[in-house]
Amino acid sequence: MSKVLVTGGAGYIGSHMCVELLQAGTDVVVLDNLSNSCAKSLEAVQRITQKKLNFIEGDLRDKSTLAKLFEHNDISAVLHFGGLKAVGESVNNPLSYYDNNVNGTLCLIEAMTNADVKTIVFSSTATVYGVPDTMPITEDFPTNPINPYGQTKLTIEHMLRDLHNSDPGWSISMLRYFNPVGAHPSGEIGENPNGIPNNLMPYLSQVAVGVLPRLQVFGDDYPTHDGTGIRDYIHVVDLVRGHLNALEFLQDNPVLAIHNLGTGTGHSVYEVVEAFEQASGKTIPCEVIERRAGDAAESFADPTKANEELNWRAEYDLHRMCVDSWRWQEMHPRGY
C-alpha cells in the first residue's frame, strides 16, 4: 500500500496535514527530528483520527535514515514541511537555516531520486516576495526575500525548478503560504511555539490565557486604515486542505507549479485583536512600540490561481480562526 511521507509532520502545519491525510484514507509516514516540535502532537493526531501513522524520529540530513525510510516504505509522494521558520532567528543564525532548510531538502531530493519517488509538495512562503510595491500579490511578482529564512525558501524553489528542468519526470508543487493561524476544531493540536512566540496569533493567544501580560503592537504609523500592519491570515486547516488538492493536481498534471495559499483578504493587527477578544471573551492589553525591522505595511494574496487550478478556496474567516486558536490555547495554556 503506497504511503505519503510528511517531513516535519510533528510540527504545527505538518500535524494538521497528517489529520487530513489520515481522514482521507492515506497511509502516513512522518519524519521529524523534534527540534521544533513535540511527539505529543502525533499522539493527538492519532486520537483525533483513530488511525495509526508511522513516526520515524530523524533528521533530513541523516542520509542513512532517509535511505532506510524509503527502503522500508513504499512512498508515492512527499509533503515537505521539515525546516526552520523563524525570521528573526534566521537573521542571527543564517548558516543553520541554510544547513537545515537547503541542505536538508537536498538530502531529501537525493533520497527520493534513489528511490525513484518524484512527486513532492513543498512548503514555501510569501516571504519570498519580500516587500512588494503593490497588492494583492500574484505568483508572477518578483521574488526578493529580505531575510535569510525567505532566502533559503527561494533557494529551494530554484533548486526544485532546475531539477524539474533537468528531469520533467518530477511533479513538483510549491505552495507559498501567507499567514497560517488557527487550530484543528478539536482543540487537540495547535500552534506550539518554543519560548516567546514571534508571531501575532500565538502571542496574543498567550496574552488572552494569562501566560503573557500584554501584546506589543509593532507600530501604529503604517499607511493603513488604522496604522497597524495588514496580513492575509489563513486557517491552518484550509492551508493543509490546499495540499491535498495540490497532490491531486500533480497526479493529473506532472508539472512544476507555484501557488499562493491565502484568503485574498487582509486584516490589521487591531482587527485581529478585536476578533480574538470577541472569540475568547478576554481583553487583550496592548502597548504600541516601534515598528519591527523588515515588516511590510501590507501583505495579502491574490489566490485566484490556486482557486482555479487547484479547485481550492479558503473557507474559514477570521472569527473561526480566532475561535479555534482560543480553544487550543485554553485547553493547552502551556502547549503540549
CA dist 107 to 199, 213, 231, 233, 328, Å?
A: 29, 43, 33, 32, 34
C-alpha angle 63/56/69, rounded to 5°? 45
149 noted as active-site residue? yes
Residue 70 or 178: the one with the smaller Cβ distance to ligand WQD is 178
Residue 3 phi/psi, 5-degree rounding, is: -125, 165
Other CB atoms within a 10 A radius of the CB of residue 88 amount to 13
The distance of closest approach from Cβ of residue 127 to ligand WQD in the complex, given in angstroms and rounded to an integer, is 4
The upper half-sphere exposure of residue 167, i.e. CA atoms within 13 Å in the direction of its Cβ, equals 13
The distance of closest approach from Cβ of residue 170 to ligand WQD in the complex, given in angstroms and rounded to an integer, is 24
Q: Which residue is nearest to ligand WQD (CB)?
A: 229
Residue 22 or 87: the one with the smaller Cβ distance to ligand WQD is 87
The distance of closest approach from Cβ of residue 214 to ligand WQD in the complex, given in angstroms and rounded to an integer, is 10
Residue 301 DSSP symbol? B
The distance of closest approach from Cβ of residue 206 to ligand WQD in the complex, given in angstroms and rounded to an integer, is 10
Residue 203 or 276: the one with the smaller Cβ distance to ligand WQD is 203
Q: Which are the contacts of 137, defined by CB distance < 8 A and separation ≥ 6?
A: 126, 129, 260, 262, 299, 300, 301, 302
The distance of closest approach from Cβ of residue 226 to ligand WQD in the complex, given in angstroms and rounded to an integer, is 12
Closest by alpha carbon to 273, among 330, 334, 332, 318? 318
The distance of closest approach from Cβ of residue 229 to ligand WQD in the complex, given in angstroms and rounded to an integer, is 2
Quote the cell numbers at residue 115.
528511490
Residue 178 DSSP symbol? -
The number of angstroms, rounded, from the C-alpha of 86 to the middle of its chain's C-alpha atoms is 11
Residue 73 or 125: the one with the smaller Cβ distance to ligand WQD is 125
Distance, in Å, from the CA atom of 43 to the CA atom of 304, rounded to the nearest integer, reads 36
Tell me which of 12, 149, 222, 316 is the catalytic residue: 149
Sheet with 54-57, edge to edge strand ranges? 54-57, 27-32, 3-7, 75-80, 119-125, 171-177, 256-261
Residue 111 or 239: the one with the smaller Cβ distance to ligand WQD is 239
Residue 92 or 253: the one with the smaller Cβ distance to ligand WQD is 92
Residue 41 or 101: the one with the smaller Cβ distance to ligand WQD is 101
Distance, in Å, from the CA atom of 233 to the CA atom of 136, rounded to the nearest integer, reads 14
The distance of closest approach from Cβ of residue 199 to ligand WQD in the complex, given in angstroms and rounded to an integer, is 3
Q: Report DSSP letters for 85-109, one per residue.
A: --HHHHHH-HHHHIIIIIIHHHHHH
> Which residues would be at the binding site for ligand WQD (CB under 6 A)?
85, 87, 125, 127, 177, 179, 198-200, 203, 216-218, 229, 231, 269, 292, 295
Supply the residues annotated as catalytic.
149
